[in-house]
Amino acid sequence: MSEVSIRKDRRAGRITFTRPQALNALSHDMALQIDAALDAWRNDPDVALVIIDAEGDRAFCAGGDIAAVYQAGKAGDHTIGRQFFRDEYRMNAKIAEYKKPIVAFMQGFVMGGGVGVGGHASHRVVGDTTQVAMPEAGIGMVPDVGGTWILAHAPGRVGEYLGLTGARMNAGDAIFAGFADTYLPEAEWDALKERLADSGDVSVLKGGARPDASLQNLDLSAFGGRTVKEIIAALDKAGDQDSLKPLRRNSPLSMAATLNMVRAARGDHSIRESLAREYRFTHRATQDSDFLEGVRAQIIDKDRNPQWAASAEEEHVKRMLAPLGNEDLQWENQK
């Protein structure tokens, strides 16, 4: 069975994830199909806008399908992961830079690779079941798929908080943090998709009042610390156990790199710069980080007891984010 349905529907190009049993996890082939569809529709006069949605109630897309990356990495083959991340990131940039409107309808879990698709659309719709997160530090990875770009533009220290803790956001929080634009009850989504496909006009997209955002009420000043160690000390002093718990559970290397990358992305001029930095880490991830151990503990064996071993020292973080020379993420074929 196909993992994604791609078709033209009246004035719309339609992309629908069709593997709800896998929480619509994004595979390498799905990323390539999305990329090809966007190329095909770019100059197609019949396509006025693009609609991205997903089957099932539980998830828009709960992340990347990294089983093949894990198995290959364990066998010493690091090319599978590198090819997947490279193609996925090019697709993420294509969504972010697309000249035609892209409307993403994001129900249920929207995590990692799901943020990379829906989070960069020009019009991002969320509802009452939406749960958005970038929980990569919990599996020894970093917020990628352009996640550091979005986190860098969140207000105050929200970016550091979300990147380090992997905290989940409801619809109100997602809009507040810059991961979504419009709240609309999910019962109204199908009718809106019909209007969009009929008209080819995003002006028919009218949302409701934004739900309350609990993020607005949090004191996140501790996340202004220079290092993860300083942040933990400040949280400890403040007695913020809710924030401390994930920081004591997640990969130290991943958190140190995440802190560096979110702050570096604040100086980026485009999502491409952030994606290129993310790729430097993920290119090395199966070889020089805690990623394989994190996937083992959280997804494969599910013992939830990762044994983090990678150094989180500043010099190792620098090496993980150093330029890759000829292997750096290339854009010459990006249209």
User: What does the pLDDT read at residue 1?
Assistant: 63
Q: Which three-class secondary structure string do you get for 96-128? A: HHCCCCEEEEECEEEECHHHHHHCCCCEEEECC
Could you report the per-residue pLDDT of 51-88, keeping only the tens digit for each?
999 999 999 999 999 888 999 999 999 999 999 999 99
Residue with tokens 């969009």: 196
User: What does the pLDDT read at residue 331?
Assistant: 87
Token code pair at residue 294:
């994190």
The two beta strands, 12-17 and 4-9, are: antiparallel
What does the domain layout of the chain look like in residue ranges? Answer: 4-327
Question: Hey, CA dihedral for 101, 120, 36, 12, is it positive or negative?
Answer: negative
Is residue 85 within 8 A of residue 107, CB to CB? The reply is no
CATH number attached to the domain at 4-327: 3.90.226.10
User: What does the pLDDT read at residue 335?
Assistant: 47
Which residues, at least 6 apart from 283, have a Cβ–Cβ distance to it below 8 Å?
A: 82, 85, 324, 327
User: What does the pLDDT read at residue 209?
Assistant: 87
Distance, CA of 94 to CA of 280 (rounded, Å): 19
pTM for the full predicted model: 0.96
Residue 125, beta-bridge partner list = 105, 182
Residues of the chain with confidence (pLDDT) below 50: 334-335
SS3 54: strand
Distance, CA of 204 to CA of 193 (rounded, Å): 10
Distance, CA of 198 to CA of 135 (rounded, Å): 37
Residues with a known catalytic role: 64, 113, 136, 144
User: What does the pLDDT read at residue 2?
Assistant: 86
Is residue 200 within 8 A of residue 9, CB to CB? The reply is no
